[in-house]
């Protein structure tokens, strides 16, 4: 009932605070006999690591992952797989100035309201660092899915108002914005850097494409594939919206425009985004998410302290001026967790 | 693990197919001692009933609800509360023409892929009629929430390209589109009727406002309030997107614009939509959903039959040309279920 | 989180009170394509029906089951299968004399403490009638298991101090005590009838044997097969203990006696009861349960009323003088639910 | 759906293998603001530590616990509390001789059947060392419960056929058998030592008393307090049976003997063991468990290797000749987890 676990058959539980001792994840339900090393996970972890470029925070998290259970002689055993990352670059004193204040756009106020106590150091549990555990678990899921031909690719579709005009997924990892259009990538980088220098931040849109998913995955009626993906991705800090296929533009379409017709080769279009009635069609699953501009900015802002007194705050420290590049691997990870969970759930009921 | 239950502490399980014997819901976790009658549920059920106007399907579902457990002398006992609605207006023969075809935009193909068998009558389990159970449960939740000052109001913000210019919630139940602006309501109705007469359908946007929610509800990190609301609403057939507060427009905003500042009276703005870090701020929770145009249209459409042979199909029968008016009470219901679930979860951990 | 559901992949939720409108069950996770009729369920339901003999209560529950969802053209569809039984023989006035009293051995006091309200009619939700839903679900599970060669057989091993000397499972349904030894059955019947005539009741022991279970079922570490079976059976009213294989007598054994040796044909003995480390060995699963004497007796007993005042009570009405014969089909049902759930869970993780 | 988590509102997930890198636990749902240190947990951990006497294994596990998340400035924050214990005394080579054999009484065969791969070192996940995580979580639960006046006490009631004649809980921690009767403790120790010297082992019975529990805890109908305690304790390796109150002896009792009468001061007797209809009565909860003799013995035993060939095996190494003393703190821990979970669940539904 508490909210730190995700998934059913492939179930993860993350733990840890930004500046506590460690963060990590337990994965329960891993398929036995899968070859897996720390390095398989480290590769994905490095993609979410900050400090990779001017548009991401220069914190030097080493983020060395360590698998401490569930592996024997290089293979998964089917028992809980635990990945732990010790926090090395912690500098709690850097955060004492926010101890008594509620930073605008942050969860300081709400955690305090909820628990009456909060680990204010680097946002504690509400920090983006919590996603390290998600990415570790996602790496395991992605490896299993890849062996079945399922590939998940996310990228920055839009940032700071600049949108990719065309999509070339081969260049995503080659530009700091993880955009899929080289010209747009260049403009986004320039714009975001400029905003960053002014102490401000930018929002954006991330698109995710999941290909190779067989038809028939997803559970009616509450655990629809798109419902579960929505929850997965909306559970990431900074994500404020999600849409599948034609998405919000479907609101202006006619039924005769939106319906995806079929012929003997399958569906002709994909306005539905790869899901009908919550169950996969076998087409690409396509969704987009709205990412808010980073809350931590160096602009002076009005807020109150924990006693309710008004004050002005400037959030110094090391922060990404735009979250989209770093959220890309996390979105892929969350998607992978949903897909593998539904594969396992599906075959529980449907393979006798 | 199968997907027909929703919620944790206040947990519902729906059952039934559109043209089977009955549809309904079990609610487990109802607070004991609440005065409740069939009529309390019937009122909400009537709001989702088809045939209320020219823009909703003229099927004459009587939809008489019957509480068959969990009540004693007019009060809830804390044991499972079961609500059942027998299907009276079933006309299975009307659906035999779709027996062997996959209707575009429907879940015919995907259910068949998933289970190898499908109840094709009126879409079976994938029918909108499944939401009757949700609305019955939502009625119970809304009654409990109302006693605590929590009010949930949804309405059609946009339909067929026409958008409310202003919001007057008092008129929602007075117009067939359940719009919140009388002028827009009039135009929407006209436009949708016109489309209907041409055998086509329209999409739209529904906005939902939840007021009176205390600060501190929502569970980090996966079961964030907005993540759970997203799953709840995205699990409704025809919903293709959701956004909170500034939503997708946040993608184009700067951090200095998007952050909600606080003063001694609280938050000055609500770009976040009432949720920070997944936990409620005490402000209104505000979200919008994209509703696709109804899939059942009288336009001839290309599709295939269950043998893969190409064919043309016209979906006759009784269908809403625009789903937004009827989805309004369902969105309210799903929201109510999420809110009450989080209230119960919150006090489990935080009230010793 | 409320307690009216059981199972994970094959998940049931029961509802209803003894003298409310109806009792029943929803089963979520049923394998699609299984031929199933009301009659398949009715057969098992008839086995738990009271009034079958002098040693069971003469109430004339008709207990006609009706499947109201999840079936199409005689086959399961994979969607929730709902079975409902309307209460026909209700005679609430017969229970008004217990309205204000806590009957010894019953849950009257504890339900009142828990909820502050209780449906006192025929024990309400705490009635043995709640198990009708379990038996309905068990019938579905048993049918699926039987097709895989898994057979579950329970019987009265001991009642009123009389124990079966030998086990002949072919005679179980031929004697009112559902004992497995004809001589013991005769003596038990005589003894229980004698006690019944004196207004008293008897306890007993039920043994259950599950054969044909493949090796490898059960989940480490909490959801061990024996742990889940224990919970399943201990959740039945009147069951006060459970033991597997050698059970409590293992407490007096030496390791050299208790360990089951293996040879090339498999295990030579079965002191473990078919489970090692929580996982099935492929041998018969064998367990026994202690059943307390029926609480409702016509002896005058000391108790208090809801105001705490002392009083004397005689529980008249129609009650089984010994619960073991009627608990036999319920134990089989609960066992079937556990086994099928673990089959589905196992293949989710272990069949890629 | 995998089985490594336990509890609902106070939910634990354990991880780790006997000779892997580490073992531990995540607790989700901890009440915020509770003062807690490593030492609070270490105290309980020391009680389950081997090598405390001649009757427990002389392995020198240091078992230093470390809380790595969920704590801030000495208090719980309400976020997941993770406790980790690194395995220091691992000597994998000591186990290579069992690599290819199925030890009688162990889970070697069944894990292999389930997963097709097994970490054979020191029984891997099936090792008693897995319970370290349970005890760590139990320590947290016990601390919270103690503050509410709930005390859990387990002890060896019987071992090697010797039974406590009287119960004096003050001496439990003063004798190596954790018996509650000094004379019996002496005899047990002597007998178990003698058996140990012969390379054999002994079984026993552990009794557990939970006092101070308020009336009204436990969820009808599946998650009864006694059902959940049964699952909790039956999930411990080596436990083969459980009984509440009069337990198996109830099978021979009459209703007029077994029913607990009430007077104005409450219940006069406690044959029910503190639970009626699955809900606590406010009396002591009393249960007993059957513990099998330790499987690892130095007797030569018949078994097969992983190829099915017959062989003889002697399990050398360091093992407890009787499990009861070390299982005592684990039983207390599992009980504490069940009680606190039900307190939180109860107040979710019943405290508006």
Which chain B residue's Cα is nearest to A297? B255
Torsion angle (degrees, nearest 10) of CA D334, D339, D341, D346? 160
Instruction: Enumerate helices (H) and strands (E) in chain A, giving the number of each.
Output: 7, 18
pLDDT band at B60 (very low <50, low <70, confident <90, very high): low
Nearest C-alpha of chain C: how many angstroms from A80? 10
Residues D263-272, mean pLDDT to the nearest whole number: 96
- Contacts of residue C30 in chain A, CB cutoff 8 Å? 349
3-state secondary structure at position C221: strand
d(CA A145, CA A143): 5
Residue D74 in contact with partner chain A when CB distance is under 8 A: no
Residue C69 in contact with partner chain B when CB distance is under 8 A: yes
Residue C351 in contact with partner chain A when CB distance is under 8 A: yes
3-state secondary structure at position B123: helix
Residues A131-135, mean pLDDT to the nearest whole number: 97
> Does the structure show a pLDDT above 70 at B57?
no
Which chain D residue's Cα is nearest to B148? D352
Say how far residue A159 (Cα) sits from the centre of its chain. 16
Query: What pLDDT score was predicted for residue A59?
Result: 55
Q: C-alpha angle C39/C44/C45, rounded to 5°?
A: 85
- Contacts of residue B116 in chain C, CB cutoff 8 Å? 32-33
> Does the structure show a pLDDT above 70 at D94?
no
Residue D296 in contact with partner chain C when CB distance is under 8 A: yes
d(CA A229, CA A219): 12
Q: What is the pLDDT of residues B171-197, one digit of tens each?
A: 999 999 999 999 999 999 999 999 999
d(CA B120, CA C150): 33
Query: What pLDDT score was predicted for residue B58?
Result: 57
Which chain D residue's Cα is nearest to C324? D251
- Tokens 């919590």 correspond to A130
CA A243 vs CA A227, A341, C28, D234: distances in Å? 11, 21, 29, 47
Q: Which residues 123-162 of chain D have a CB within 8 Å of chain A? A: 124-125
CA C104 vs CA C101, C265, D255: distances in Å? 9, 52, 10
CB contact under 8 A, D33 and A114: no
Best of B7, B69, B113 to substitute, by most chain C Cβ atoms within 10 angstroms, is B69
The span from the first CA to the last CA of chain A, in angstroms, equals: 31
Q: What is the mean pLDDT of chain B?
A: 94
Query: What pLDDT score was predicted for residue A98?
Result: 81
**Residue whose C-alpha is closest to residue A329's, from A81, A105, A154:** A154
Residues B256-280, mean pLDDT to the nearest whole number: 97
3-state secondary structure at position C167: coil
Residue B62 in contact with partner chain A when CB distance is under 8 A: no
The span from the first CA to the last CA of chain C, in angstroms, equals: 31
CB contact under 8 A, A220 and B125: yes
- Contacts of residue A352 in chain C, CB cutoff 8 Å? 31, 144, 148
- Contacts of residue D80 in chain A, CB cutoff 8 Å? 2, 4, 13-16
Query: What pLDDT score was predicted for residue D61?
Result: 53
3-state secondary structure at position D179: strand
Residue A55 in contact with partner chain D when CB distance is under 8 A: no
- Contacts of residue D9 in chain B, CB cutoff 8 Å? 345, 348-349
Lowest model confidence (mean pLDDT) among A246-260, A322-336, B298-312: B298-312
Nearest C-alpha of chain D: how many angstroms from A77? 6
Lowest model confidence (mean pLDDT) among A278-292, A308-322, C332-346: A308-322
Instruction: Enumerate helices (H) and strands (E) in chain C, giving the number of each.
Output: 7, 18
- Strand C285-291 and strand C239-244: the pairing is antiparallel
Using CB atoms, which residue from C2, C258, C290 is nearest to D248? C290
**Residue whose C-alpha is closest to residue B31's, from B351, B340, B349:** B340
How would you class C265 by CB atoms within 10 Å of its CB: exposed for 0-12, middle for 13-18, buried for 19 or more?
A: exposed
Residue C220 in contact with partner chain A when CB distance is under 8 A: yes
CB atoms within 10 A of CB C317: 15
Query: What pLDDT score was predicted for residue D98?
Result: 81
> Does the structure show a pLDDT above 80 at A80?
yes
Say how far residue D194 (Cα) sits from the centre of its chain. 25
Q: Which DSSP letter does residue B352 get?
A: -
Residue D186 in contact with partner chain A when CB distance is under 8 A: no
d(CA C6, CA D228): 12
Q: What's C200's domain CATH number?
A: 3.60.150.10
pLDDT band at D319 (very low <50, low <70, confident <90, very high): confident
- Helix residue spans in D105-242 (DSSP H): 108-115, 131-146, 182-197, 225-234
Nearest C-alpha of chain A: how many angstroms from C223? 13
Cβ-Cβ contacts under 8 Å between A and C: the total is 46
Query: What pLDDT score was predicted for residue B274?
Result: 98
d(CA A166, CA D223): 55
Chains that contact C by 3+ CB pairs under 8 Å? A, B, D
Q: What is the mean pLDDT of chain A?
A: 94
DSSP string spanning D225-260? HHHHHHHHHHTSTTEEEEEETTGGGGGG-BHHHHS-
Best of B221, B247, B257, B346 to substitute, by most chain A Cβ atoms within 10 angstroms, is B221
Nearest C-alpha of chain B: how many angstroms from C85? 11
Lowest model confidence (mean pLDDT) among A251-260, B137-146, C293-302, D240-249: C293-302
Residue D185 in contact with partner chain C when CB distance is under 8 A: no
Best of A29, A67, A77, A83 to substitute, by most chain D Cβ atoms within 10 angstroms, is A77
Interacting residues of A5 by C-beta distance below 8 A, sequence separation 6+: A11, A12, A13, B222, D5, D11, D13, D28
d(CA D207, CA D152): 11
Best of A69, A99, A107, A343 to substitute, by most chain D Cβ atoms within 10 angstroms, is A69
> Does the structure show a pLDDT above 80 at D198?
yes
Residues D266-278, mean pLDDT to the nearest whole number: 97
Residues B19-35, mean pLDDT to the nearest whole number: 97
3-state DSSP: chain C helix, strand, coil percent, rounded to 5?
A: 35, 25, 40
Task: Extract the tokens encoding D307.
Answer: 């190829």
Nearest C-alpha of chain C: how many angstroms from A35? 14
DSSP string spanning C228-244? HHHHHHHTSTTEEEEEE
d(CA C22, CA C10): 23
- Tokens 């009388």 correspond to B182
d(CA C1, CA D346): 9
Residues B321-336, mean pLDDT to the nearest whole number: 97
Using CB atoms, which residue from A245, A279, A345 is nearest to B240? A245
Query: What pLDDT score was predicted for residue C63?
Result: 81
Interacting residues of C306 by C-beta distance below 8 A, sequence separation 6+: C100, C101, C102, C112
CB contact under 8 A, C351 and A352: no
Query: What pLDDT score was predicted for residue C275?
Result: 98
Interacting residues of B60 by C-beta distance below 8 A, sequence separation 6+: B51, B89
Nearest C-alpha of chain B: how many angstroms from C24? 10
Judge whether C55 and C169 are in contact, CB under 8 Å. no
Strand partners, B158: B163, B205
CB contact under 8 A, A303 and B279: no
Torsion angle (degrees, nearest 10) of CA D323, D327, D328, D334? -160
Residue D117 in contact with partner chain B when CB distance is under 8 A: no
Judge whether D201 and D222 are in contact, CB under 8 Å. no
Per-residue pLDDT of chain C (352 residues; tens, 9 = 90+): 899 999 999 999 999 999 999 999 999 999 999 999 999 999 999 998 776 666 766 555 568 999 999 999 999 999 999 999 999 865 656 666 788 999 999 999 999 999 999 999 888 999 999 999 999 999 999 999 999 999 999 999 999 999 999 999 999 999 999 999 999 999 999 999 999 999 999 999 999 999 999 999 999 999 999 999 999 999 999 999 999 999 999 999 999 999 999 999 999 999 999 999 999 999 999 999 999 999 999 989 999 999 999 999 987 766 889 999 999 999 999 999 999 999 999 999 998 5
Q: Quote the domain boundaries for residue A148.
A: 5-350
Q: C-alpha angle D73/D76/D77, rounded to 5°?
A: 90
- Contacts of residue A304 in chain B, CB cutoff 8 Å? 262-264
What are the backbone dihedrals phi and psi of residue D280, each rounded to the nearest 5 degrees, phi first? -65, 145
Which chain A residue's Cα is nearest to B307? A264
Interacting residues of C135 by C-beta distance below 8 A, sequence separation 6+: C44, C45, C47, C48, C329, C330, C333
CB contact under 8 A, A78 and C349: yes
CB contact under 8 A, B1 and C23: no
Nearest C-alpha of chain A: how many angstroms from B22? 16
Residue B218 in contact with partner chain A when CB distance is under 8 A: yes
Strand partners, A153: A209
Using CB atoms, which residue from C32, C220, C349 is nearest to A31? C349
- Contacts of residue C260 in chain D, CB cutoff 8 Å? 104-105
- Contacts of residue A125 in chain D, CB cutoff 8 Å? 77, 79
3-state secondary structure at position B101: strand
Task: Extract the tokens encoding A154.
Answer: 């996310």
What percent of chain B has a predicted confidence (pLDDT) above 70? 93
Interacting residues of A185 by C-beta distance below 8 A, sequence separation 6+: A156, A164, A171, A175, A176, A177, A179
d(CA C199, CA D106): 49
Say how far residue D94 (Cα) sits from the centre of its chain. 26
Query: What pLDDT score was predicted for residue D299?
Result: 86
Residue C345 in contact with partner chain A when CB distance is under 8 A: yes
Best of A140, A144, A352 to substitute, by most chain C Cβ atoms within 10 angstroms, is A352
d(CA B237, CA B111): 14
Domain count, chain C: 1
CB contact under 8 A, C349 and D2: yes
- Contacts of residue C90 in chain B, CB cutoff 8 Å? none
3-state secondary structure at position D116: coil
Query: What pLDDT score was predicted for residue C226?
Result: 98
Query: What pLDDT score was predicted for residue A54?
Result: 66
Query: What pLDDT score was predicted for residue D58?
Result: 56
Greatest Cα pair distance in chain A: 67
């Amino acid at each position: 009932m508490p909210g730190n676990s995700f998934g059913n058959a492939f179930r993860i539980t993350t733990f840890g605070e930004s500046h506590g001792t460690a963060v990590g994840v337990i994965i329960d339900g891993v398929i036995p006999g899968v070859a897996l090393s720390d390095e398989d996970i480290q590769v994905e972890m490095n993609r979410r690591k900050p400090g990779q470029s001017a548009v991401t925070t220069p914190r030097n998290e080493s983020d060395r992952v360590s698998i401490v259970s569930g592996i024997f002689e290089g293979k998964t055993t089917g028992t809980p797989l635990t990945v732990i990352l010790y926090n090395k670059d912690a500098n709690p004193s850097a955060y004492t100035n926010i101890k008594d204040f509620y930073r605008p756009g942050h969860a300081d106020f709400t955690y305090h309201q909820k628990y009456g106590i909060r680990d204010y150091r680097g946002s504690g549990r509400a920090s983006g660092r919590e996603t390290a555990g998600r990415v570790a678990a996602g790496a395991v899921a992605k490896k299993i899915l890849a062996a079945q031909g399922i590939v998940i690719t996310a990228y920055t579709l839009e940032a700071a108002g600049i949108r990719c005009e065309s999509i070339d997924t081969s260049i995503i990892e080659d530009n700091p914005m993880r955009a899929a259009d080289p010209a747009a990538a260049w403009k986004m980088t320039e714009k975001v850097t400029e905003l960053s220098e002014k102490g401000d931040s930018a929002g954006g849109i991330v698109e995710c494409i999941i290909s190779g998913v067989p038809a028939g995955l997803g559970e009616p009626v509450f655990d629809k594939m798109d419902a579960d993906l929505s929850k997965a991705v909306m559970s990431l800090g900074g994500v404020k919206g999600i849409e599948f296929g034609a998405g919000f533009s479907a609101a202006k379409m006619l039924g005769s425009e939106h319906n995806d017709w079929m012929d003997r080769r399958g569906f002709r279009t994909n306005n539905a985004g790869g899901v009908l009635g919550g169950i996969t069609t076998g087409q690409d699953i396509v969704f987009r998410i709205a990412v808010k501009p980073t809350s931590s900015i160096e602009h002076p802002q009005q807020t109150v302290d924990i006693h309710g007194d008004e004050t002005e705050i400037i959030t110094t420290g090391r922060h990404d001026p735009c979250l989209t590049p770093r959220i890309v691997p996390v979105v892929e990870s969350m998607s992978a967790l949903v897909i593998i969970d539904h594969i396992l759930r599906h075959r529980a009921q449907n393979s006798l």
